Amino acid sequence: VARILIGEQSEILVDRGLPSRLLPERDGREQAVVISQAPVRRIADQVIERLRSELGAVHLIEVPDRDAAKTWQVVGGLYDDMARLNIGRHDTVVGVGGGAVTDLAGFVAATWLRGIEAVMVPTTALGAVDASIGGKTGINHAGKNLVGAFWHPRRVLVDLDTLDAIPLPLRLEGAAEIVKAGFIADPVILDEYRRHGISAPLDVVVPRAIAVKAEVVGEDFREGGRRAILNFGHTIGHGIESVTGIPHGYAVSIGMVAAGAVSAGRYGFDGGSLTELLASLGLPISSAGTSKEAVLDKVARDKKRTAAGVRMVLLRSIADVVVEPVTTDELDLGLAAVGIE
Ligand SMILES: NC(=O)c1ccc[n+]([C@@H]2O[C@H](COP(=O)([O-])OP(=O)(O)OC[C@H]3O[C@@H](n4cnc5c(N)ncnc54)[C@H](O)[C@@H]3O)[C@@H](O)[C@H]2O)c1
């Protein structure tokens, strides 16, 4: 369906089914370590079967589910296993799973022998359009994603058949990030969701959302400038996520409503139709009852803050983005728009 490149470093292949050869052509590779989680065992088995036709030795290491995998203990255990297996400089780490797995597998690949090849097979929509794209890897230590490394996967294999089959809550979470890509850079994505609702064809919206992230990240690998636009909906969204514990994609949806309201106040952006689209997909648009003090406290501590105060990604119109400091009144306005007063 699509082949998207991030410079020379990373190749993202989007298709129906997995290709018969998973690994990039390269000399010297002898082994692969597949890191995965129990709920996607069937997919990991498929990947392993293909890898066995390419390689002498393929090892599966199953880690605890969700973010329980993103810990020092798990990383330490993986290093022990890789030492025992004698995983060398020319070998490959393959992550099969959602964003938690790809963050962990990427981090292990980035740090083992100061960096070996990583290949990702994301199995959630959020993993496919966001977590596995762009080279941010990491674990949770002393806070979420505070320890990590930038390390591009050599190849990312997105199987749309897998994404079509994921449970609705995961589909909704992915839709929030895909719609975000639409608002910051690609109106065609928004048209697809307006026309088809949550069943918007993944063959169209997934490659387009990946292309948005790939293009932004290709220009700004380490988040000095333009990469910040990917945080649309994330400033307030992260605050709500850490106070309430709701899933990331849902928090981003609510965060976009808040950012839409601030954008409306400052630039006359049509925040109403943004909210309407998210609601029509079944995404949450309010966090009524959440403590305003608690959210503001988290927002102020956000690791992406600067000396200039809280900055937000705002829309002057669709695909016209600015990243600007906001006033306390504007933050209040954004929070009020999602029922936090
Ligand atoms: N590196 C980045 O740029 C980046 C960006 C966004 C999010 N993330 C990280 O991604 C993680 C969240 O990722 P996620 O939303 O994919 O959740 P997840 O990886 O925690 O997976 C959620 C659940 O779905 C299961 N699952 C995965 N694929 C499935 C499938 N095909 N069918 C059924 N179940 C499946 C998982 O085993 C898990 O139980 C967080 O750790 C977050 O920090 C990283």
CA dist list (Å): 64 to 3, 171, 175, 202, 280: 32, 22, 25, 29, 35
Check pLDDT > 90 for residue 226: no
**How many whole angstroms separate alpha carbon 249 and alpha carbon 234?**
10
pLDDT the model gives residue 221: 66
One-letter amino acid at 21 equals R
Which pLDDT band holds residue 299 (cuts at 50, 70, 90)? very high
pLDDT band with cut points at 50, 70 and 90 for residue 28: very high
Residue range 34-52: average pLDDT? 98
pLDDT at res. 191: 98
Of the pLDDT bands very low, low, confident and very high (cuts 50, 70, 90), residue 309 is confident
- pLDDT at position 327: 95
**Average pLDDT for 207-236:** 89
Give the pLDDT of residue 224: 64
Q: How far is the CA of 214 from the centre of ligand 1 (A)?
A: 19
Ligand 1 lined by 220 (C-beta under 6 Å): no
Task: Check whether 26 has a pLDDT greater than 60.
Answer: yes
Average pLDDT of the chain is 96
Q: What pLDDT, on the 0 to 100 scale, is given for residue 307?
A: 61
pLDDT for position 305: 59
Pocket of ligand 1, candidates 36, 41, 66: which has the most ligand atoms within 8 Å of its Cβ, to mutate?
66
Q: Region 274-288: what's the mean pLDDT?
A: 98
Q: Does pLDDT of 306 surpass 80?
A: no
Q: Is 130 in the pocket of ligand 1 (CB under 6 A)?
A: yes
User: Residue 145: CB within 6 Å of ligand 1?
Assistant: yes
| pLDDT one-digit tens code per residue, 241-275 | 999 999 999 999 999 999 999 999 999 999 999 99
Q: Shortest CA distance to 181 belongs to which of 155, 207, 212?
A: 212
- Looking at residue 244, its pLDDT comes to 98
Task: Report whether residue 164 contacts ligand 1, using a CB cutoff of 6 Å.
Answer: no
Mutational test site, ligand 1, from 126, 150, 232, max ligand atoms within 8 Å of CB: 126
Q: Is the pLDDT of residue 129 over 70?
A: yes
Full DSSP string of 73-139: HHHHHHHHHHHHTT--TT-EEEEEESHHHHHHHHHHHHHGGG--EEEEEE-SHHIIIIITSSSEEEE
Distance 246 CA to ligand 1 centre (A): 14
Q: How confident is the model at residue 223 (pLDDT cuts 50, 70, 90)?
A: low
Structure tokens at 153: 């996967």
Lowest mean pLDDT among 52-61, 88-97, 284-293, 297-306: 297-306
Confidence of residue 16 (pLDDT cuts 50, 70, 90): very high
Number of H helices, E strands in the chain: 13, 11
Confidence bin at 304 (pLDDT 50/70/90):
low
| Of residues 226 and 110, more confidently modeled | 110
* Ligand 1 center–CA 131 separation, angstroms: 8
pTM score, whole prediction: 0.96
Look at ligand 1, atom 5, and give the residue with the nearest C-alpha: 131
Residue with the smallest CA separation from ligand 1 atom 6 is: 131
Evaluate if residue 303 carries a pLDDT over 60. no
Residue nearest to atom 4 of ligand 1 (CA): 131
* Of 105, 104, 109, 70, residue with least CA distance to 87: 109
- Please indicate whether residue 22, judged by its CB atom, sits closer than 6 Å to ligand 1: no
Is 124 touching ligand 1 by the criterion CB < 6 Å? yes
